[in-house]
Amino acid sequence: MSGISTHVLDTARGRPAAGVGVTLERWELDAWLVCASAETDADGRCRQLLAAEQVLAGRYRLRFQTGEYFEGQSFFPEVAVIFVLAGDGESCHVPLLASGFGYTAYRGS
């Protein structure tokens, strides 16, 4: 693993969540700046949203378009996960487990 990546699992259906829109942003100068946007692949993954050499220490936000994925049958139209990386070049994998009415995220390996 190098850089920032994510993986979305649909816990209601028990499978990877393909086609979820994901935006990675970095907090800089009192505003969120977009670093990357992608959709999860057939395995529910965005394998590298940001390469390790592009990662700067600081606060990041992953925004997942869960409402579109669950076709409007979701209490959460969007899930935002904010995390902090302590050093430049740090690698981070952030999985999201989601259903239409709940979610959890964690720092993976």
Domains of the chain: 4-105 (2.60.40.180)
pLDDT in tens, 30-68: 999 999 999 999 999 999 999 999 999 999 999 999 999
Q: Is 46 exposed, middle or buried (0-12, 13-18, 19+ CB in 10 A)?
A: buried
Average pLDDT of span 66-75: 92
pLDDT for position 54: 94
pLDDT for position 65: 97
Q: Are 4 and 55 in contact (CB under 8 A)?
A: yes
The pTM for the full model equals 0.94
Q: How far apart are CA 55 and CA 45, in angstroms?
A: 19
Q: How far apart are CA 15 and CA 17, in angstroms?
A: 6
pLDDT for position 100: 93
